[in-house]
Structure 1
């Protein structure tokens, strides 16, 4: 038996690489007579760019950019496809991991640093830019990125305002005269791991604002600000930013990239698997093991484990899904794609303790799987 190990990262715990290696170690310890291959996956979330560059044999270049609060940092820009394609991980320049918990200020946080990385990519004369949006610290509707690319935001008197969410209510005009036109000679592909729209109860401010430190009052201000941005963008481009599927990703950045940069917004998991030739590896597999931190109904909304499970079932390959958290009751929708869904926890515990023992729990769970696979068929 050949087992393909293709997990997503366990958010706030281990990377996809670390998860895959722990599962493989557990299979080895079980003594099962099988071969295995690690193929860690991503769906546009934090870590996607790293895996793309790694799997495509690319290289990294570091540049000075500004973090979400305007501090100078070093951030990587990946180059693949013999220099033709740049890979940008938004979390590297504008990520929530770059700010402390007491520094989470969504009304002041900017995506400007990600725009700087795009500009550096254009300086390298690439013809394509791939952007992973996961792990952002911002709910700025992409105005930071647009500002880095030369777009100015002016008040009623024509004065330029800083491209910060707190200022959007005072925006009166979007000035495109200084926009870096090189962007239109470059195909922008944005990997999204959610399909939320920009505004409303399922919009970027309401759903993702709290994760980035937004209080209830902040959320109201941010949703109103993004509504104002939508109205101004419609006047400038004729595009309604609130009608764009995936537009709410990364605090509304996806909507701006589509509207102003003519970016293509795609399902991050599907594009990742296509880019990295996943199906070629799947052809040799008898069993697929995948997983993520929480494997539930949301997994079926385009997450990485769903994407690989769907391809495996199309080829009649058995799928085992493992996770830190799984539904308490049987879920018919999950059962269509996952033959077995297993939690890795060994005993009742709090979340932080469970996360501290993710590696050992994965090894133990994978060892149990391996021992089951080794049982005589007569049992």
Structure 2
């Protein structure tokens, strides 16, 4: 049996490569006669950029930048396609993983650090910039990135707003005269791991703000700031930031790059699988195992396991999904893509304990899956 192991990261617990390793180890220990190939995947979320660069045989450039609170840090971006394409991972500079829980402050968290990585990359001879946007600590509509690239956000009277994103509530005009023209000579691709738009009940502030420390009151302030940014951006660019699917990614940064840099917003997992030759790997697979922290209806909105399962279904290859959390009752829409969904938990546990045991839980679940496959095949 030829098994293709293609999990996404288990958020805040295990990266995709380690998850694939755990599954492979469990299958081998089961005694199932099989040939396994690990193909960890990313959908634009935290870790996607690293996976993409490694899979494409690229290299990393380390440089100084800032985190979302303006503190100096070192971070890396990748070069692929003979150095003509830059891969920037937002979580490397503006990620929530870089902050302690008590530090979360989306009213003042900014994406400047990601902008610094992009500006640094522009000093090279590049044709394309790919931004993996998941995992940010920010809800600034990309204003920090744009500020670093020369865009000025102005109050009435022409004074520049410095307290992004909350200061955008008082935005009066946007000055594009200083925009680094090199960015407009590049193709900009944004890998989105969600379909949410910028504003509203399903928008960047309302849905993702709480994950970044926003209370109900803070969400209202962020929504007002993003709405004002949308209004002025529409006057300046003629582009409505709130209309684009996926614009809510990374606190609306996707919408900001779409409006001001003419960025293409793409389904992150589809882009990753197409770019890395996943379809070719399926030609040699009898079974696919994927997974991530939770598999539910939201998975069908462009998450990693869905992209894997969708491509496998086209090849009529069965798919098993491992997850820390799965629906209690069968959901027909999920059953169309996943032949089996297996929870990896080993008993009652709080979230932190469960996440700490993810590697062992994946190993055990894969072992038992291998044992069942061995039993059913008579091996």
Give the TM-score normalised by structure 1: 0.98
Where 2:122 maps in the other structure, the secondary structure is: helix
Map 1:1-40 → 2, pairs under 5 A: 1-40=1-40
- Indicate yes or no: 2:321 matched with 1:321: yes
The offset of 1:376, in angstroms, is 5.2
The offset of 1:163, in angstroms, is 5.4
Are the counterparts in 2 of residues 192 and 265 from structure 1 also a CA contact under 8 Å? yes
Distance 2:366 2:205 in 1: 39
Distance 2:202 2:161 in 1: 29
Corresponding residue for residue 337 of structure 2: 337
Where 2:321 maps in the other structure, the secondary structure is: strand
Are the counterparts in 1 of residues 58 and 80 from structure 2 also a CA contact under 8 Å? yes
Corresponding residue for residue 104 of structure 1: 104
Map 1:86-165 → 2, pairs under 5 A: 86-162=86-162, 164-165=164-165
Q: Deviations over 1:192-211 (max 9, x none)?
A: 00011111111101101111
Corresponding residue for residue 195 of structure 2: 195
Are the counterparts in 2 of residues 91 and 134 from structure 1 also a CA contact under 8 Å? yes
Are the counterparts in 2 of residues 110 and 163 from structure 1 also a CA contact under 8 Å? no
Where 1:14 maps in the other structure, the secondary structure is: coil
The offset of 1:378, in angstroms, is 6.8
Distance 1:114 1:378 in 2: 53
Q: Deviations over 1:307-330 (max 9, x none)?
A: 111111111111111111111001
Distance 1:316 1:215 in 2: 45
Corresponding residue for residue 276 of structure 2: 276
The offset of 1:290, in angstroms, is 0.4
Distance 2:285 2:4 in 1: 6
Distance 2:323 2:160 in 1: 49
Distance 1:171 1:377 in 2: 66
Corresponding residue for residue 176 of structure 2: 176
The offset of 1:280, in angstroms, is 0.8
The offset of 1:39, in angstroms, is 0.3
Q: Deviations over 1:237-282 (max 9, x none)?
A: 1111111111111111000100000000000000000111001111
Distance 2:363 2:146 in 1: 45
Where 1:174 maps in the other structure, the secondary structure is: strand
The offset of 1:231, in angstroms, is 0.5
Corresponding residue for residue 58 of structure 1: 58
Corresponding residue for residue 353 of structure 1: 353
The offset of 1:377, in angstroms, is 4.3
| Structure 1 segments of 4+ aligned residues over 3 angstroms from their partners | 376-379
Are the counterparts in 2 of residues 144 and 163 from structure 1 also a CA contact under 8 Å? no
Where 2:188 maps in the other structure, the secondary structure is: strand
The offset of 1:221, in angstroms, is 0.5
The offset of 1:332, in angstroms, is 0.6
Are the counterparts in 1 of residues 96 and 136 from structure 2 also a CA contact under 8 Å? yes
Are the counterparts in 2 of residues 5 and 39 from structure 1 also a CA contact under 8 Å? yes
Corresponding residue for residue 260 of structure 1: 260
Distance 1:361 1:230 in 2: 45
Q: Deviations over 1:64-107 (max 9, x none)?
A: 11111111111101001101000000000111111111111111
Distance 1:26 1:81 in 2: 35
Provide structure 1 residue ranges, at least 5 long, that are not aligned to the other structure: none
Corresponding residue for residue 296 of structure 1: 296
Q: Number of aligned pairs? A: 379
Are the counterparts in 1 of residues 26 and 365 from structure 2 also a CA contact under 8 Å? yes
The offset of 1:63, in angstroms, is 1.1
